[in-house]
A and B are shown apart, each in its own frame.
Chain A
Amino acid sequence: MGWAIALHGGAGDIPVSLPPEHRQPREEALRHCLQIGVDALQGKMHPLDVVELVVRELENIPHFNAGRGSVLTNKGTIEMEASIMDGRTKKCGAVSGLKTVVNAISLARLVMEKTPHIYLAFDGAEEFAKEQGVETVDPSHFITAENVERLHHAKEANIVQIDYSTQPLQNGTKKETSVVANGDSQLGTVGCVAVDSNGNLASATSTGGLVNKMVGRIGDSPIIGGGTYANELCAVSATGKGEAILRATVARDVAALMEFKGFSLMEAANCVVHERTPKGTVGLVAVSAAGEVATPYNTTGMFRACATEDGYSEVAIWSAS
């Protein structure tokens, strides 16, 4: 028992040849966000507040596909979405189609706490944001040169693509071997799960979605049970191929295996990722009420970081082996 935290910055076909200038800032960012989360948990902050705090930080960092640094729709615009869930009460909040809200995850939290609803989207969500006085900016704030380039590549190849598998401005751009012609994505999203020493669990996920996605496309990140789930046993945040995560209700499935088949966190997480979803589509981070952590993925890599109260900590992209 004790606190535990895990966070991710996306799973996908992250080439092991990823050049240092792309790898290091992300590793640094993961380390930074992990520290923020750890400090908060050590300061006895409630996990729901911790996951929101960490995801806000990830959203603000332009290297990940959420908030600033979100990938672009097929019209070159930004549409962000997020969801958050409290394990003990199962209260949840979600938002989609945000264009001006600096921190989508915080708006999701406000939906959870200040409305009778769970999920608000597009104009209605933006309107709610204004009513709540949350920080909003011009949409251009979220757009980075890298993502403009990625969209350009995607349009040329005429696919809806993952954001990490092409590195813009790189010589001999890596072939997107893992991109399927019908446009399924394999990467994106940031997320955080945490548990305190009282077994309170929470999960939060946020994303800009898929590069070159249709305007209005909603992925798994704001879907409770899909990209985000937390109950009294565990908290899960998933990343990868949105459509695959949705149909397999990935986040819920981890909890269901624990509950109905008595699997441990590790067994459940591994089962979902390695046996119940197609290879190359999913990664997740999860913590259990007992303070365990699991971070399995069936893609080439997953940007992640985790730590537990007994001193274990890791920041990684690929497997040790």
Chain B
Amino acid sequence: MELLGFGSLRNPEKESQGSRAEGEKMGGWAIAVHGGAGVDPNLPLERQEEAKQLLTRCLNLGISALRSNLPAIDVVELVVRELETDPLFNSGRGSALTEKGTVEMEASIMDGPKRRCGAVSGLTTVKNPVSLARLVMEKSPHSYIGFSGAEEFARQQGVEVVDNDYFITPDNVGMLKLAKEANTILFDYRIPSSGYETCGSGVESPLQMNGLPISVYAPETVGCVVVDREGRCAAATSTGGLMNKMTGRIGDSPLIGAGTYACEVCGVSCTGEGEAIIRGTLAREVAAVMEYKGLKLHQAVDFVIKHRLDEGKAGLIAVSNTGEVACGFNCNGMFRGCATEDGFMEVGVW
């Protein structure tokens, strides 16, 4: 499968050191953020600039927090809250719309050291889904709560709630219309396919993701991964999901092991075609090849992107407990940024 615009960011200083000897400088914090994989090649320059500015702002937020020694788990939450609040990307305000024109948000967060996790789905009034996910992790006996139960939990916890309208932007109302038109013209998912075809594979046509033309696809998901000075990794992912999705549809973002994973050795957040990420248990995969094949972070990311996606299109960001950061994607662009304690910083789209 041809790799479209495969990109990988890594700390150039670390790379030029070649394979690092044991006992060499380990650690130092590192952070990466993303605003979705799969970018319309015709995206106007102003939009690209806007996105880069937001990513830069979020990185800086995370960097200040890390410099003040805030633990990784707090940093990822902080940064993803910022991404949710800004209407630019597909999470919180600015979320993609369901087929009914409503917003249903989901998120997950995971703390590497003990692999504690929290996730939520089907939120319609909670201003910051990632924070509710954190509360599930810390204040409930469970790891994942969805829909009306999650909304109820939100009220019990006193988190900020707003009307569903708050999350809906005119841009996305327009996109939904286009998506519905595109679906009618191109194909109808409700027509059963004859064989076991890959989910999301539709008619061969100009750039598509999840069966939608890239111009209406809307990059899914925001995420952040962090390793702090103590070598603790954390990851968080948040999204409004797929444009024109069926109500009740859950994607990869709230699924531990798929969209989000963090353990002793790394923290990973994924974005792209949800179904491909779930099927490939993508986030967990990065950790698995590091643990079981002894791959270094960027090798693990490369491996997973090259070999675990088949026809699926996705991207991910990851940090390791030794202070490395890496990104990879096999689709047309991924909004991303990363920084490490030794001064490296980069924000990119393609």
- For B52, the chain A residues whose CB sits under 8 A away are none
Which one, A29-37, A59-67, A248-256, is touching chain B? Answer: A248-256
- For B145, the chain A residues whose CB sits under 8 A away are 214, 216-218
13 contacts between A and B (CB under 8 A): A92-B278, A96-B146, A114-B190, A115-B249, A117-B251, A120-B246, A122-B146, A210-B142, A216-B148, A217-B142, A242-B142, A242-B143, A253-B288
Cross-chain contact of B279 among A118, A217, A218 (Cβ < 8 A): A118
A91-B196, A215-B152, A256-B288 are known contacts. Are A122 and B278 too (CB-CB below 8 A)? Answer: no
- For B12, the chain A residues whose CB sits under 8 A away are none
Q: Are A215 and B148 in contact (CB under 8 A)?
A: yes
- For B146, the chain A residues whose CB sits under 8 A away are 96-97, 121-122, 216, 218
Query: Considering the complex, which residues of chain A in the window 79-125 have a beta carbon less than 8 Å from any beta carbon of chain B?
Result: 86, 88-92, 94, 96-97, 113-125
Query: Considering the complex, which residues of chain B in the window 194-225 have a beta carbon less than 8 Å from any beta carbon of chain A?
Result: 196, 198-200, 210-211
CA distance A127 to B292 in the complex (A): 42
Which one, A167-175, A219-227, A293-301, is touching chain B? Answer: A219-227
CA distance A23 to B142 in the complex (A): 29
Cross-chain contact of A243 among B143, B210, B288, B292 (Cβ < 8 A): B143
The reply on A246 being an interface residue by CB < 8 A is yes
Q: Taking the nearest CB of chain B, how far is it from the CB of A83, in angstroms?
A: 10
Listed in ascending order, the chain B residues whose CB lies under 8 Å from chain A are 110, 115-117, 119, 121-122, 140-150, 152-153, 189-190, 192, 196, 198-200, 210-211, 242, 245-251, 255-258, 261, 274-275, 278-281, 284-285, 288-289, 292-293
Listed in ascending order, the chain A residues whose CB lies under 8 Å from chain B are 86, 88-92, 94, 96-97, 113-125, 127-128, 160, 182-184, 210, 213-219, 223-226, 229, 242-243, 246-249, 252-253, 256-257, 260-261
Of B142, B242, B249, chain A has the most CB atoms within 10 Å of the CB of B142
CA distance A120 to B198 in the complex (A): 18
- For A183, the chain B residues whose CB sits under 8 A away are 141-142
CA distance A213 to B140 in the complex (A): 10
How many A-B pairs have beta carbons closer than 8 Å: the answer is 171
Q: Are B144 and A116 in contact (CB under 8 A)?
A: no
Q: Is the interface of B mostly helix, strand, loop or mixed?
A: mixed
Q: Are A216 and B117 in contact (CB under 8 A)?
A: no
- For A261, the chain B residues whose CB sits under 8 A away are 292-293
Q: Are B248 and A116 in contact (CB under 8 A)?
A: no
CA distance A114 to B293 in the complex (A): 37
CA distance A182 to B122 in the complex (A): 24
CA distance A168 to B200 in the complex (A): 48
Q: Taking the nearest CB of chain B, how far is it from the CB of A165, in angstroms?
A: 16
Q: Are A117 and B245 in contact (CB under 8 A)?
A: yes
Q: Are A124 and B148 in contact (CB under 8 A)?
A: no
CA distance A249 to B262 in the complex (A): 11
A91-B199, A224-B258 are known contacts. Are A246 and B245 too (CB-CB below 8 A)? Answer: no
Considering the complex, give the chain B residue whose CB is closest to the CB of A262.
Answer: B292
- For B210, the chain A residues whose CB sits under 8 A away are 116
Given A214-B153, A223-B256, A246-B257, output 18 extra A-B contacts at Cβ < 8 Å: A90-B280, A91-B198, A91-B279, A117-B250, A118-B250, A119-B249, A121-B121, A121-B250, A122-B248, A123-B248, A124-B247, A214-B141, A216-B145, A216-B147, A216-B150, A218-B144, A248-B115, A256-B285
- For B250, the chain A residues whose CB sits under 8 A away are 94, 96, 117-121
A91-B199, A223-B257 are known contacts. Are A119 and B278 too (CB-CB below 8 A)? Answer: yes
A121-B147, A223-B255, A249-B284 are known contacts. Are A116 and B279 too (CB-CB below 8 A)? Answer: no
A124-B246, A247-B117, A260-B289 are known contacts. Are A90 and B149 too (CB-CB below 8 A)? Answer: no
CA distance A252 to B280 in the complex (A): 10
- For B200, the chain A residues whose CB sits under 8 A away are 116
- For B245, the chain A residues whose CB sits under 8 A away are 117
Q: Are A128 and B199 in contact (CB under 8 A)?
A: no
Cross-chain contact of B148 among A96, A116, A122, A253 (Cβ < 8 A): A122
Considering the complex, give the chain A residue whose CB is closest to the CB of B245.
Answer: A117
Q: Which 4 A-B pairs have the closest CB atoms?
A: A124-B248, A216-B149, A183-B141, A260-B292
Considering the complex, give the chain A residue whose CB is closest to the CB of B212.
Answer: A116
Q: Are B144 and A86 in contact (CB under 8 A)?
A: no
A114-B192, A117-B249, A249-B257 are known contacts. Are A216 and B153 too (CB-CB below 8 A)? Answer: yes
- For A122, the chain B residues whose CB sits under 8 A away are 122, 146-148, 248
- For B278, the chain A residues whose CB sits under 8 A away are 92, 118-119, 224-225
A123-B248, A125-B248, A216-B152 are known contacts. Are A224 and B116 too (CB-CB below 8 A)? Answer: no
Q: Taking the nearest CB of chain B, how far is it from the CB of A202, in angstroms?
A: 12
Cross-chain contact of A215 among B115, B149, B256, B293 (Cβ < 8 A): B149
Q: Taking the nearest CB of chain A, how far is it from the CB of B112, in angstroms?
A: 11
Q: Are B279 and A246 in contact (CB under 8 A)?
A: no
CA distance A229 to B278 in the complex (A): 11
CA distance A117 to B152 in the complex (A): 26
A122-B122, A224-B279 are known contacts. Are A217 and B144 too (CB-CB below 8 A)? Answer: yes
- For B284, the chain A residues whose CB sits under 8 A away are 225, 249, 252, 256
Considering the complex, give the chain B residue whose CB is closest to the CB of A88.
Answer: B196
